[in-house]
Structure 1
Amino acid sequence: MKFSCEKALLSAAVSVASRAVAAKSSIPAMEGILIEAGSQLRLTGYNLETGIQATVPAEITQRGSLVLSARLFGEIVRKMADDVVVFSAEGYMVNIKCGLSEFNIVGSDPEEFPELPTVDQQNALTLPQPTLRSMIGQTLFAVSDNESRPVHTGSLFDVEGDSLTVVSVDGYRLALRRENVTEKKGADAFSFVVPGSALGEVEKICSGEEDITVIQGARHILFQTGDIVLVCRRLEGEFLPYKSAIPRNNPIHVVCSARALLSSIERVSLIISEKLKSPLRCVFGSGMVSITTKTAIGDAADQCPIDGDGQELEIGFNNKYLMDALKAAPAEKLRLEFTSGVAPCVILPAEGEENFIYMVLPVRLKAN
């Protein structure tokens, strides 16, 4: 096998493929990157959960394939001078030259590398990379890490007509984002659940402005953008029926600035830590919300102006859950809806279309 390639392009492709490489595995080949020089140069990382394949422009003079340690190959390419990398292999002996540097290292048998699953297209959708990136970034925080309900360790992609809704839920909160898709093929309505770990990688590969295509197969999902393909398994099971789980006829409504409320909560949270856990006690009055908390080291209080009357509703929150939702909300003005001190708080945009909804469950407060 022999090829030459620009160092910057090769380094970028190695770092993308490395994200899906197993950190430790009983199969040594899985700690490596599969390098295939055929009609194109392809680099693949696969940990049996998620696989990433990057295609690189290269001049291929001799075809072949082998597996190299992802960590070592990545370090070698990254530290080389900005020049053309010349890669040649005889059997498993690899020679890598670039500028004045030269390395001879040993690769391994490509037959030992697990085959990337093929995805038989049932349905597909296309949307701009920045759109999908923001949808994932603004819902991923609410994905569950509780393995007792595996389906909730991923996000639901629910497609109806021209719109895609992404929903994450972990038993304490719910995050929902809705946007229109550019193109759709297959059924009018379909849905599937993508593991949260894979979505973290999808968010990273959505680094450009072009479109990304999402293909639903029987057991796997494929994300394709430009020269990069990511394949992951689908999560099976009954996802929370989110449409009926979000209470919408809430009698108490207030409007506030996301930034101002977040700043107030961050100040009060300074005395809360992993060791000193305590809920936020929020009292929504007329034109103002009072936020207090008490831990072993002291107490803190802050106020934030709001529009509307909260009818002196007293409600407790886990400070992190409320802050996560406020940080993720893609709007400056938010509408907070309540029914009572023991019912969920629903957070929506105060103006424009409802392209996001966050729901945070309250924490029971001890009597003063």
Structure 2
Amino acid sequence: MKFSCEKALLTAAVSIASRAVAAKSSIPAMEGILIEADTRLRLTGYNLETGIQATVPAEIKQPGSLVLSARLFGEIIRKMPDDVVVFTAKDYMVNIKCGMSEFNILGTDPEEFPELPTVDQQNSITLEQSALRSMIAQTLFAVSDNESRPVHTGSLFEVDHKDLTVVSVDGYRLALRREKADKIEGSEQFSFVVPGSALSEVEKICSGEGPVTVNQGARHILFQAGDTVLVCRRLEGEFLPYRNAIPRNNPIHIQCDTRTLLSSIERVSLIISEKLKSPLRCVFGDGVVDITTKTAIGDAADQCPVDGDGQGLEIGFNNKYLMDALKAAPADKLRLEFSSSVAPCVILPAEGEENFVYMVLPVRLKAN
């Protein structure tokens, strides 16, 4: 095998493929990157859960394939001078030259590298990379890390006619984002659950402009953005019927500025830590919300102006859960809906289309 490639392009492709390389594995080849040169140069990382393949333009003089240690190959390419990298492999001996630098390292047999699953496309959806990236970023925080319900360690992708809805739940909160799709092929309505660990990688590969296509297979999902492909397994199981879980006939409605409320909560949260946990005590009055908390260090209080009357509702929240939802909400003004001190708080855009919904469950407050 022999090819030459621009250092910058090769570095980018190695770092993309490396994201799916197993950190430790009983199969040494899985700690490596599969390099395949035929009509184009492909670099693949695969840890049996998620596989990422990056395609790079290169001048291929001799086709072939080989596996190289992802860590070592990545370090060598990164430290090379900015020039054209010339890669030559004879059997398992690899020669890498760039400018005045030269390395000879050993590769391993490509036959030992597990094959990427092929995705038999049943349905597919296409939308802008920036849209999918923001949808993932604004829901990923609510994915569960509790392995007792594996299906909730991922996000539900639900396609309905022209819309894509992404939903994450973890038992304490719910995050939902909806966007119009550019193109849907196959069924008009379908759904699947993508593991959260794979979605954080999808968010990174959707870093450019242009479309991303999501293909649903029987057991796997394939994301294609530009020259990068990510394949991951689907999570099986019964996802929470989220529509029934979100209470919508709430008698108390208030509107607030997202940044102002977040700043108030951040100030009060300064005395809360991992060791000193304490809920936020929120009292929603007429035109104002009083936020207080008390820990072993001391106590803190703040006020935030709001529009509307909270009818004196006193409700407790985990500060992190409430801040996560406010940080993710893609709107400057929000509507908060309540029905009682033990029912969830529903967070929606104050104006325009309801393209997001967040729900945060309250915590019980001790009597003053």
- Give the TM-score, by structure 2 length: 1.00
Counterpart for residue 283 of structure 1: 283
List per-residue Cα deviations over 1:281-316 (Å, max 9, x = no partner).
000000000000000010000000000000000000
- The aligned runs of 1:235-250 (5 Å cut-off) are 235-250=235-250
**Mapped partners of 1:356, 1:209: distance in 2:** 23
Counterpart for residue 346 of structure 2: 346
- The aligned runs of 1:69-218 (5 Å cut-off) are 69-218=69-218
**Mapped partners of 1:191, 1:90: distance in 2:** 47
List per-residue Cα deviations over 1:6-30 (Å, max 9, x = no partner).
0000000000000000011111100
List per-residue Cα deviations over 1:183-221 (Å, max 9, x = no partner).
000111000000000000000000111000000000000
**Mapped partners of 1:103, 1:341: distance in 2:** 66
1:364 Cα deviation (Å)? Answer: 0.4
**Mapped partners of 2:189, 2:254: distance in 1:** 34
Counterpart for residue 219 of structure 1: 219
1:95 Cα deviation (Å)? Answer: 0.2
Say how many residue pairs are matched. 368
Q: What letter is aligned with 1:283?
A: V
Unmatched segments (≥5 aa) in structure 2: none
**Mapped partners of 1:198, 1:226: distance in 2:** 17
Counterpart for residue 44 of structure 2: 44
State the percentage of identical aligned residues.
84
Q: What letter is aligned with 2:241?
A: P
Counterpart for residue 319 of structure 1: 319
Instruction: Report whether the alignment pairs 1:366 with 2:366.
Output: yes
**Mapped partners of 2:337, 2:141: distance in 1:** 21
1:226 Cα deviation (Å)? Answer: 1.1
List per-residue Cα deviations over 1:24-83 (Å, max 9, x = no partner).
111110000000011111000000000000000000011110100000000100111110
Counterpart for residue 334 of structure 1: 334
**Mapped partners of 2:176, 2:309: distance in 1:** 26
1:108 Cα deviation (Å)? Answer: 0.4
**Mapped partners of 2:247, 2:159: distance in 1:** 22
List per-residue Cα deviations over 1:269-289 (Å, max 9, x = no partner).
000000000000000000000
1:225 Cα deviation (Å)? Answer: 1.3
3-state secondary structure, aligned to 2:204: helix
**Mapped partners of 2:181, 2:56: distance in 1:** 28
Counterpart for residue 19 of structure 1: 19
**Mapped partners of 1:73, 1:93: distance in 2:** 13
List per-residue Cα deviations over 1:72-102 (Å, max 9, x = no partner).
0001001111100000001100000000000
**Mapped partners of 1:188, 1:56: distance in 2:** 34
**Mapped partners of 2:195, 2:52: distance in 1:** 14
Aligned residues: CA RMSD: 0.3
List per-residue Cα deviations over 1:231-283 (Å, max 9, x = no partner).
00000000000111100000000000010000000000000000000000000
**Mapped partners of 2:101, 2:72: distance in 1:** 15
Q: Which consecutive segments of 4 or more residues in structure 1 shift more than 4 A?
A: none
Counterpart for residue 6 of structure 1: 6
Q: What letter is aligned with 2:173?
A: R
**Mapped partners of 2:188, 2:132: distance in 1:** 20
Counterpart for residue 292 of structure 2: 292
Unmatched segments (≥5 aa) in structure 1: none
Q: What letter is aligned with 1:270?
A: L
Counterpart for residue 307 of structure 1: 307
1:361 Cα deviation (Å)? Answer: 0.1
Q: What letter is aligned with 1:151?
A: V
List per-residue Cα deviations over 1:152-189 (Å, max 9, x = no partner).
00000000010000000000000000000000001110
Instruction: Report whether the alignment pairs 1:265 with 2:268.
Output: no
Instruction: Report whether the alignment pairs 1:68 with 2:68.
Output: yes
